[in-house]
Structure 1
Amino acid sequence: MDTRNTMMENQAGNDDANMIEGKSILVTGAGSGLGAALCKLFASSGAHVMMAEIQPNKALDIAESLRGGPGKIQVVECDVGNAESAQRAIDETVSAFGKIDVLINNAGTDVTCSIDELSLEQWDRVIHTNLYGPFLLSKYAAQYMKRNGGGHIINIASTAAKRAWPNASAYHASKWGVLGLSHALHAELRPENIKVTAVVTGGMRTPFLLDRFPDIDLETLQDPMNVARTVKGVLLLPSETVIPEIMVLPMRESSWP
């Protein structure tokens, strides 16, 4: 057994934990799927996690299971597409933890139907959740991050931001939009020491897909924790380096070549 390599790996693990420990992280859509995986991963790494959820009861059980660890865990009710609600989520994060280091815009929704069937209300709901929400939260979080010397905004995009398929016009419009927003904020906020990263995810084994497509082949999907670990890896980069965009796909991804 190479004890030297083992010691180096253990030291690297400790260094990773130290870089996350004590960070103040706000995760939207925290009650299930990728959001829940992110909260569990960061809480176990010693971060202070604010779980933002439009249905807070979905997040309360998860939060309770995470309490007693090295980091603080709180839940805030948040409709990301509502300006007052988005501002309140940012304010409560800063009030609870003293700062906001990381914002993860993860909340998302979709309507699967043709443009003929898609109602104006459905269009508005998808755009408000998937695009207007990240804009609002990024706007408010950046104000605090500038005063605090920097931070990191991570926007969860999708392969739907890279190509298109039928019966998802609102979803595609929102995800192409959030990818463009993310790159624009990357260019704008770098001088303020604020990193912005778009994480383009392939299909995950989450309720977002499984509840709507119960016959989907699970072998074509990935564990959301794999994506959460990728997000953590992005946050562990040295301060002089930023990744504006990263794609995370299952090996048998069906929506990408």
Structure 2
Amino acid sequence: MSAPAQLDLHGRQALVTGAARGLGASIARRLAAAGASVLLADVRKDLAVELCAELTGEGLDARFVEMDVRDAVGVAAVFRDLDEAGQPLDILVNNAAVDVSKPIEHLTADEVTRVVETNLLGPMYLCLETYRRMISRGGGHIVNILSTAANRTWTEAGPYASAKSGLRAFTHTLFKEAQRDCTGIGVTGIIAGGMETPFIMERFPDADVTLLQSPDIVADTVLYALSVPAGSVVGELVVVPRCEPSWP
């Protein structure tokens, strides 16, 4: 069995949503270190710009792109700008996500809408814009960051689990359509277990970090999916902490 090809992303452009911190920042760093020109999209502009400065200071290629994934019109505008600049996207990583940890009894409609728009509709908007362009160019790779909540759920996770389950179904459908439409396009869903990131630690400051994994491990999993030689594609990967108590 041949080993995966050495990953060299020079000359390729990637866009990472939710890239300002946590897992998104880890993925952006890994892609840039592999030679990609990385667009960092996040509503936290100050943090994203700071990370861009850090990466460019290391001689890597990164810049901030203003985008709220919930805004379909704004997402389309970003892609039109890339078209006009002659900077097509080769890699999309849908990572942006939010959560509201509340019993369903106490959820508001606005909270449900925010979670579903960010975690499900946003990635779908990005995929729509990216996929049709990849079809016309004959290649590219889309990575959707999923969650163990796509396979199971727990209390206080109704909107989050619903959105991630929906995104997993959408990702599987896109994978099948890419097999039919263009074998040069890879589609990968990554089911990631708990990570030691602000996404968890800000909501659960007393969480036992020994039961969490580093976001760098998940970022390496993204790069693995991108490194599989032509002729094969990884449709889905699961990476969870070894001691995660509630898997599956």
TM-score (norm 1): 0.90
CA distance in 2, matches of 1:199, 1:245: 6
Aligned residues: 244
CA distance in 1, matches of 2:112, 2:197: 22
Structure 1 residue 92: Cα displacement: 4.0
Aligned mate of 1:140, from 129, 135, 138: 129
Deviates more, 1:239-248 or 1:90-99: 90-99
Structure 1 residue 93: Cα displacement: 4.4
- 5 Å-filtered alignment, 1:85-234, equals 85-94=74-83, 98-190=87-179, 191-192=181-182, 193-234=184-225
3-state SS, counterpart of residue 75 of structure 1? strand
Structure 1 residue 96: Cα displacement: 5.4
CA deviation vs aligned residue, 1:73-108 (integer Å, no higher than 9, x gap): 111111101101221333344555621111000000
In structure 1, the partner of 2:6 is 16
Q: Is the 8 A contact 2:7 2:227 kept in 1?
A: no
Relative to structure 1, the CA distance from residue 61 to residue 232 in structure 2 (aligned partners, 3 Å threshold; closer, same or farther) is same
* Paired letter, 2:171: S
3-state SS, counterpart of residue 239 of structure 1? coil
In structure 2, the partner of 1:235 is 226
Q: Is the 8 A contact 2:7 2:226 kept in 1?
A: no
3-state SS, counterpart of residue 125 of structure 1? helix
Larger CA Rg, structure 1 vs 2: 1
Structure 1 residue 240: Cα displacement: 0.7
CA distance in 2, matches of 1:253, 1:56: 33
* Paired letter, 1:60: V
CA distance in 2, matches of 1:251, 1:21: 34
| Bigger relative contact order (CA 8 A; separation at least 6) | 2
* Paired letter, 1:152: H
CA distance in 1, matches of 2:235, 2:224: 13
Aligned mate of 1:60, from 49, 74, 85: 49
CA distance in 2, matches of 1:200, 1:94: 31
Q: Is the 8 A contact 2:213 2:241 kept in 1?
A: yes
Structure 1 residue 72: Cα displacement: 2.3
TM-score (norm 2): 0.93
Q: Is the 8 A contact 1:55 1:77 kept in 2?
A: no
Relative to structure 1, the CA distance from residue 97 to residue 63 in structure 2 (aligned partners, 3 Å threshold; closer, same or farther) is farther
CA deviation vs aligned residue, 1:108-149 (integer Å, no higher than 9, x gap): 000000111110010000000000001100000112211211
CA distance in 2, matches of 1:116, 1:55: 30
Q: Is the 8 A contact 1:27 1:104 kept in 2?
A: yes
CA distance in 1, matches of 2:157, 2:78: 29
CA distance in 2, matches of 1:139, 1:38: 22
CA distance in 2, matches of 1:130, 1:255: 22
Give the CA RMSD over aligned residues: 1.7
CA deviation vs aligned residue, 1:1-44 (integer Å, no higher than 9, x gap): xxxxxxxxxxx89x6243x2221100000001110001111111
In structure 1, the partner of 2:40 is 51
- Structure 2 stretches lacking a partner, 5+ long: none
* Paired letter, 1:202: G
CA deviation vs aligned residue, 1:25-71 (integer Å, no higher than 9, x gap): 00000001110001111111110000011121110111001115564
In structure 2, the partner of 1:40 is 29
Q: Is the 8 A contact 1:26 1:102 kept in 2?
A: yes
CA distance in 2, matches of 1:75, 1:121: 28
- Structure 1 stretches lacking a partner, 5+ long: 1-11
3-state SS, counterpart of residue 16 of structure 1? coil
- 5 Å-filtered alignment, 1:70-81, equals 71-81=60-70
